[in-house]
């Protein structure tokens, strides 16, 4: 239910209504935007209506949510939300870049890439320790050892870490090592996993599935929000269409579409979205021009030797060029690429 206030409602009147909602133990969000002051409430609508809230001073009217994905929607929060990860903000003016290898394969390659992407301006190191592979015979990731390598690289470079969690049994483990828990395209509707990462309370990067409609995707995010975890970052990474020329069809229109219905930050992954390194820069530009808040880019020290996704991985040199080439585009659409920060090793988090 959404409670709309009159333009001249006082802060005390709004607080009085919020107090009533708090007594009912309902979750709510106050926001001020195009529709004036609105308090959006998640709870039993009938119970709320029985409290005669519409008659309280300052209240204009009550309206039900028009969408099923309540908390993910702009009806719940009228202004864009910013996800704070350490010192970093995702969803603000600056375009944030997550970069690194598809899979964590070993210390040397990971550290080389970590130092190089950091120097070029990435803020977050990506890399899979648990890998969702189409074939069970393909490299499945280093697991726990990969998580430790990510943490070591993070401590040496100061980069934050995003890595995938595939299994509810691993959520606590991955959360000990990662700053952001990634839920991959194949697990976007693994509802138990969504609940668990919601409970874990860490920022979550939720990738769109290759067959997920935008409405279904919003409901996937809702599973995480429902657990009280508001730190959800969306990611368009390509969908499966009739055309197999590129690995996936990167649905750039999903960015303005989602921005028109949701307050959640959204990034674009042109590496998985295209499957080919030559298309990564143009589609990254398209993503930022369309309103994305960040990018996920695969970078490998030696793509020819990569255990996974070599053809779409940039070399560190190409990533330098990529970051330079993104700057004028970001400026043209009123954004800035987050600038490289002086290397500052992170203190051990434990
Ligand atoms: C990944 O980012 O490592 C990955 C497997 O991506 P996706 O889930 O989008 O396929
Ligand atoms: Mn990959």
> Which ligand has the shortest distance to the CA of 269?
1
- Rounded to 10 degrees, what is the CA torsion of 208, 212, 218, 219? -120
pTM for the whole thing? Answer: 0.96
Express each pLDDT in 167-203 by its tens digit.
999 999 999 999 999 999 999 999 999 999 999 999 9
Q: Which of 184, 238, 269, 306 is the pocket-test mutation for ligand 1 (most atoms within 8 Å of CB)? A: 184
Q: Cα–Cα distance between 28 and 35 in angstroms, integer?
A: 17
Q: Cα–Cα distance between 71 and 78 in angstroms, integer?
A: 11
Average pLDDT score over residue span 71-78: 98
For ligand 1, say whether the CB of 102 is within 6 Å of any of its atoms.
yes
Sign of CA pseudo-dihedral 172, 173, 179, 184 = negative
Phi, psi of 307 (to 5 degrees): -75, -20
For ligand 1, say whether the CB of 128 is within 6 Å of any of its atoms.
yes
For ligand 1, say whether the CB of 183 is within 6 Å of any of its atoms.
no
188 neighbors 208 (Cβ within 8 angstroms): yes
| Confidence category of residue 350, pLDDT binned at 50, 70, 90 | very low
| Confidence category of residue 35, pLDDT binned at 50, 70, 90 | very high
The radius of gyration of the chain's CA atoms, rounded to the nearest angstrom, is 21
Express each pLDDT in 233-288 by its tens digit.
999 999 999 999 999 999 999 999 999 999 999 999 999 999 999 999 999 999 99
- Per-residue pLDDT, 343: 53
């Amino acid at each position: 239910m959404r409670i709309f206030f009159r333009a001249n409602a006082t802060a005390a009147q709004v607080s009085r209504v919020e107090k009533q909602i708090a007594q009912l133990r309902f979750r709510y969000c106050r926001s001020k935007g195009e529709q004036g002051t609105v308090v959006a409430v998640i709870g039993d609508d009938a119970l709320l209506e029985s409290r005669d809230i519409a008659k309280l001073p300052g209240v204009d009217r009550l309206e039900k949510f028009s969408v099923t994905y309540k908390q993910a929607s702009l009806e719940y929060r009228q202004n864009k939300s910013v996800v704070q990860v350490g010192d970093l903000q995702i969803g603000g003016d600056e375009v944030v870049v997550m970069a690194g290898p598809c899979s964590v394969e070993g210390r040397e390659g990971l550290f080389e890439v970590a130092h190089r992407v950091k120097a070029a301006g990435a803020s977050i190191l990506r890399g899979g320790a648990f890998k969702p592979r189409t074939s069970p015979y393909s490299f499945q990731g280093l697991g726990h050892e990969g998580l430790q390598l990510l943490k070591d690289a993070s401590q040496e470079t100061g980069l934050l870490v995003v890595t995938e969690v595939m299994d509810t049994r691993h959520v606590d483990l991955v959360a000990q090592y990662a700053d952001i828990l990634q839920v991959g395209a194949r697990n976007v509707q693994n509802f138990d996993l969504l609940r668990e990462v919601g409970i874990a309370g860490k920022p979550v990067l939720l990738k769109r599935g290759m067959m997920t409609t935008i409405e279904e995707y919003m409901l996937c995010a809702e599973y995480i929000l429902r657990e009280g975890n508001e730190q959800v970052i969306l990611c368009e990474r390509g969908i499966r269409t009739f055309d197999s020329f590129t690995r996936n069809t990167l649905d750039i229109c999903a960015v303005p579409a989602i921005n028109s219905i949701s307050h959640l930050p959204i990034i674009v992954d042109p590496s998985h979205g295209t499957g080919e390194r030559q298309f990564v820069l143009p589609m990254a530009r398209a993503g930022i021009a369309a309103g994305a808040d960040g990018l996920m880019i695969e970078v490998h020290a030696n793509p020819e030797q990569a255990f996974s996704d070599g053809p779409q991985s940039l070399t560190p040199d190409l990533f330098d060029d990529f970051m330079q080439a993104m700057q004028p585009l970001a400026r043209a659409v009123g954004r800035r690429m987050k600038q490289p920060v002086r290397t500052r090793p992170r203190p051990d988090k434990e």
